[in-house]
Amino acid sequence: MNRVVKATVVVFALLGAYLAVTFVQVWLASRRDDARPADAIVVLGAAQFNGVPSSILRARLDHAYDLYERKLAPVIVVTGGRQPGDRFTEATAGANYLIERGVPDEDILREVEGTSSWESLAAASHFMQERDIDSVVLVSDAFHSFRINAIADELGLDGHPSPTRTSPITGASAARHLFRETAAVAVGRIIGYRREAGIQQRVESSAPSVSVSAGAVVGEPVGGRLA
């Protein structure tokens, strides 16, 4: 019995160390901006409301626009499909917003099926690689940087995260997302991010509905996704 207890303590100690190291990696990645010249700028989707980007998605789009204006890439890829009950895809809402800001429609590519980061990047990687697009600047919230870069690497893309610094997700909410990302990364690099995304979607679909989502922003309708 003593050996079992010792073995259990060792296992939990190793697990705790692994999670601690993973958290530090996710946190350090959230503080870096790796923007550089690339073939395309990829914007990870977030909630939209009747075709209007949420403040979270708008912050990502504004950052992508700034990178485009700096001529770091000739193309912006907007991603994200429909959530249940939506009339517009996240990609369509994002594309329309960028067009209103002056980005030519021919400089925008749309991925309109994904409902998770892995799905969106996997679908986008297919049509990007058909166009010889390999290097990408990845735009999302800071807490998301490590995982989307790892997913891009898994898909054969040369990813360079450049997170928005104007996201409305700050303080305690941002800290919660860092812990969530730590768990997702810890699982994803053991079983693969494709399988991790499937597990996460099953957990979220089986969870009871609530009146306020974890990523809800004051003044905006509730719903949609962050990553």
Per-residue pLDDT of 78-108, as tens digits, reads 999 998 888 999 999 999 999 999 999 999 9
Residue-range definition of the domain harbouring residue 51 = 30-206
**For residues 15 and 94, what is the distance between their CA atoms, to the nearest angstrom?**
40
Q: What is the pLDDT of residue 99?
A: 98
Exposure string for 67-92, b = 16+ CB within 10 A, e = fewer: bbeeebbebbbbbbbbeeebebbbbb
Q: How many CB atoms lie within 10 A of CB 46?
A: 29
pLDDT, tens digit (0-9, with 9 covering 90-100), for 196-216: 888 877 776 665 543 322 233
In a domain, residue 7? The reply is no
In a domain, residue 22? The reply is no
- pLDDT greater than 80 at residue 225: no
In a domain, residue 222? The reply is no
pLDDT, tens digit (0-9, with 9 covering 90-100), for 106-119: 999 999 999 999 99
In a domain, residue 23? The reply is no
In a domain, residue 226? The reply is no
Reading the block at residue 9, the tokens are 């303590």
Q: What is the mean pLDDT of the chain?
A: 89
Q: Give the rounded percent of residues in the chain with a pLDDT score beyond 90.
A: 78
Sign of CA dihedral 158, 196, 81, 90: negative
pTM comes to 0.88
Q: Give the rounded percent of residues in the chain with a pLDDT score beyond 70.
A: 89
- pLDDT greater than 70 at residue 153: yes
In a domain, residue 18? The reply is no
Identify the helix (H) or strand (E) that includes residue 148. helix 145-154
In the beta sheet, which residues pair with residue 77?
Answer: 42, 109
pLDDT, tens digit (0-9, with 9 covering 90-100), for 129-152: 999 999 999 999 999 999 999 999
| Rounded alpha-carbon distances, angstroms, from residue 180 to 50, 161, 218, 225 | 28, 18, 21, 14
In a domain, residue 3? The reply is no
Q: What is the pLDDT of residue 83?
A: 82
What CATH number does residue 165 fall under? Answer: 3.40.50.620
Instruction: Please indicate whether residue 83 or residue 53 has the higher confidence score (pLDDT).
Output: 53
Q: What is the pLDDT of residue 214?
A: 29
From 8, 11, 41, select the one nearest 152 (Cα to Cα): 41
In a domain, residue 218? The reply is no
Q: What is the pLDDT of residue 198?
A: 84
- pLDDT greater than 50 at residue 181: yes
Q: What is the pLDDT of residue 122?
A: 96
Q: What is the number of structural domains in the chain? A: 1
Instruction: Please indicate whether residue 167 or residue 207 has the higher confidence score (pLDDT).
Output: 167
Torsion of CA 41, 42, 44, 50, to 10 degrees: 80
Q: Which residues are within 8 A (CB) of 72 and not within 5 positions of it... i.e. 6 or more apart? A: 35, 36, 37, 38, 41, 137
Burial bucket for residue 224 (CB in 10 Å: 0-12, 13-18, 19+): buried
Contact 129, 32 (CB under 8 A): no
Reading the block at residue 82, the tokens are 């429909």
- pLDDT greater than 50 at residue 41: yes
Residue 112 CA, chain-centre distance (Å), reads 15
From 50, 123, 124, select the one nearest 92 (Cα to Cα): 50
Q: Which residues are within 8 A (CB) of 28 and not within 5 positions of it... i.e. 6 or more apart? A: none
Q: What is the pLDDT of residue 223?
A: 44
Determine the straight-line distance between the first and last CA of the chain, rounded to whole angstroms.
Answer: 44
Q: What is the pLDDT of residue 203?
A: 73
Q: What is the pLDDT of residue 1?
A: 59
Q: What is the pLDDT of residue 200?
A: 78
Q: What is the pLDDT of residue 38?
A: 98
